[in-house]
Structure 1
């Protein structure tokens, strides 16, 4: 591994130099022309690299516990790509531990996407991460995950230099240089204690009122879109210690997880705050519906259910009593282990979203009650469940969530101050 000056700005370039040497040579040249240092990491397995890397493919394979020649001889492309991506992740970890890493760039096809997915989450929020690939015009979650990635579609494949690919590569390098130039700037708003909050289209009114009240109380509020990726990112940042409290108004992703919708956030949803022992107020926003894509994507087993076309790309389905009961139990069990005095559940009795207030198309008192009863039965006894005679989007309910979190955080802060005084 080539060592460079530890004080210069540095971007790690990761790619297959046996097939994309000219492209990476151009990226490296453009970055260095702008005064940005580079570390070029080769993840190719097919042949001899066309340009000299700073970290060879043999070293990448060894970092993954493999042998490059054996990978090539085995002939399993999927295994080779996964192994080299894993090795590149180890290399990036070493670089970050021993040297400066300011950004990441990967260019290529679907294999580049696989490599990028193994690397992007290692860099902190705000550090530029660029993927240049035609795969970004499709489903990008497998490649970006929860990283704040910049994804550029080059239109033509990254397969040789031509007038279009040259311009895409130069633009990508320029985007990286521009992002690096802003790294010394800080947000104009001074942050108070940072809290996370959740929102979906059907809870936007309530979430907005809740955010505004929290800001009045002196908090910086990070809003996460409860679309699967948003909830997963929030749980990740809680686990990293970035967040001091959670106003989880919109737990909708759990409905998709339990029933089989298109936007789950995974089994870790609603667990990080409990593990971290930070204050959290949990509500039931969006747990009355399951979300799918366009109407034709709704699974056949749900064909006879109450469906609502939210827009051309999103179809909503009302939960049944049985599904609601399972969702409530999932929420209750997720709170197991909560430290006394750190968690509270608030139930909006007049509707969990704008879709299910009394008289609305998907209103179902039976399903809502089944969810609340299952939640109350499964949650730990030290987590109170309080009913509020409002709907999820009413300002009164939103303010109650904000003020409840403020109360929990104030009590916790006072206790910590007393312990350390």
Structure 2
């Protein structure tokens, strides 16, 4: 008897040999296999557990309709919708423990929908010819997705692609055996930050919040971390959000590739999740260190963090635009929202006398926040720097007030 079952998804009409190879590796390691065919035109070498007709029907369509479009993109949109819905239903029925999807650009597009549909903690592996490519936008990535480059696998089996496929097969089975799925014993707080070199509030906040009966997950707000944060916020998993590092909003506003998506800082509010926000690294735009400085930011001071990441110091005008953008993001929040505004700066480098200190720029930003703050947001000015103990005290004071009022409850 197999201890874990893996759902294998792919176009069995064109990738039958490769998909069968994955299945054989999983079975050889003692795992079970279920197969889902998302092809449209051809037929697999042998029947799949979930044939293409069942996938199309799950999307409220049919293979005949998909073919009738004479447009492979529209046809695959039908299959992507059906595959995502079917995979989620099958998972809730307990029929598989992890999923692996194989594809080129078409298959990867579909794979992203399948993985996004499945809950956190379900092992999700995509083997793709475009893994890690800029073709894949941050907002399409599930919060715990895994990708492996399908080297030399555009057409047919060979020793090069077998190396990738066998590793992926072993990885998804191993993950299904080893995964510790998220528990819901304590309510979860989602917090954004950067490392302790620049932002330090989480060092004091995490133990203080845990002592109050909560679990704290801290997300590194460098694009992918913010994407995972927003994905979970959209699912309503957080009892409270402490979004203190909104720099990804500025990255997106200024055209940086290090974006967490256009919906950054909106999903908690859309769900009515109580949220506190602040200004960690509001004055910096991160960009890929080995890229040229974006055109709109050239001529401005650059802070090199490492070979992967550099930051551009915003001008006063850009800081004011950032303030307006943050406030616009919060204007539609359905839950209680507090903007904690530390009056003496938003990262360790911008303290008075620090290497990036800009009192005039900070004052302009503060003024823009005051002017643009929407009526549904409570603005609380904190006479401290974001890394001072007084800021932590202000956060905990607001948190305790919400707990006492029943806005947040510990289970």
The equivalent of 2:206 in structure 1 is 211
The equivalent of 2:268 in structure 1 is 273
Residue 352, structure 1, aligned to residue 353, structure 2: no
**TM-score, structure 1 length as denominator?**
0.84
How far apart, in 1, do the equivalents of 2:199 and 2:93 lie?
Answer: 44
1:135-284 aligned within 5 A: 135-139=130-134, 141-142=136-137, 145-157=141-153, 159-183=155-179, 185=180, 192-201=186-195, 203-284=198-279
Residue 310, structure 1, aligned to residue 305, structure 2: yes
How many Å apart are 1:64 and its aligned residue? Answer: 4.1
How many Å apart are 1:52 and its aligned residue? Answer: 2.1
Asked whether the equivalents of residues 255 and 294 of structure 2 are also in contact (C-alpha less than 8 Å), the reply is no
The equivalent of 2:116 in structure 1 is 121
CA deviation map 1:320-379 (0-9, x unaligned): 222222221222233336578x33222222221133222334332232222222222232
Cα–Cα, structure 1 residues 358 and 124, in superposed 2: closer, same or farther, change >3 Å?
Answer: same
How far apart, in 1, do the equivalents of 2:332 and 2:405 lie?
Answer: 17
CA deviation map 1:25-57 (0-9, x unaligned): 122233344454333111223533233222223
Asked whether the equivalents of residues 331 and 376 of structure 2 are also in contact (C-alpha less than 8 Å), the reply is no
How far apart, in 2, do the equivalents of 1:218 and 1:224 lie?
Answer: 20
Decide which moves more: 294-303 or 279-288.
Answer: 294-303
1:281-296 aligned within 5 A: 281-294=276-289, 296=291
CA deviation map 1:306-329 (0-9, x unaligned): 222222222212222222222212
How many Å apart are 1:70 and its aligned residue? Answer: 6.4
CA deviation map 1:109-135 (0-9, x unaligned): 233321211110111111111112342
How far apart, in 1, do the equivalents of 2:181 and 2:73 lie?
Answer: 42
Decide which moves more: 205-214 or 320-329.
Answer: 205-214
Q: Among residues 60, 76, 84, which one is paired with 2:79 in the alignment? A: 84
Residue 375, structure 1, aligned to residue 399, structure 2: no
Cα–Cα, structure 1 residues 167 and 374, in superposed 2: closer, same or farther, change >3 Å?
Answer: same
SS at match of 2:100: strand
How far apart, in 1, do the equivalents of 2:124 and 2:310 lie?
Answer: 32
Asked whether the equivalents of residues 131 and 147 of structure 2 are also in contact (C-alpha less than 8 Å), the reply is yes
**TM-score, structure 2 length as denominator?**
0.86
Cα–Cα, structure 1 residues 97 and 246, in superposed 2: closer, same or farther, change >3 Å?
Answer: closer
SS at match of 1:135: coil
Unaligned stretches of 5+ residues in structure 1: none
The equivalent of 2:95 in structure 1 is 100
Q: Among residues 30, 36, 40, which one is paired with 1:41 in the alignment? A: 36
Cα–Cα, structure 1 residues 416 and 224, in superposed 2: closer, same or farther, change >3 Å?
Answer: closer
How far apart, in 2, do the equivalents of 1:415 and 1:177 lie?
Answer: 38
SS at match of 1:407: helix
How far apart, in 1, do the equivalents of 2:21 and 2:394 lie?
Answer: 53
Asked whether the equivalents of residues 38 and 52 of structure 2 are also in contact (C-alpha less than 8 Å), the reply is yes
SS at match of 1:312: coil
Q: Among residues 13, 18, 25, which one is paired with 1:23 in the alignment? A: 18
SS at match of 2:406: helix
How many Å apart are 1:186 and its aligned residue? Answer: 6.6
SS at match of 2:348: coil
Asked whether the equivalents of residues 282 and 322 of structure 2 are also in contact (C-alpha less than 8 Å), the reply is yes
CA deviation map 1:280-323 (0-9, x unaligned): 22111111111211264322232222222222222212222222
How many Å apart are 1:278 and its aligned residue? Answer: 3.3
How far apart, in 1, do the equivalents of 2:292 and 2:114 lie?
Answer: 31
Cα–Cα, structure 1 residues 124 and 405, in superposed 2: closer, same or farther, change >3 Å?
Answer: farther
Cα–Cα, structure 1 residues 186 and 310, in superposed 2: closer, same or farther, change >3 Å?
Answer: closer
Aligned length: 408
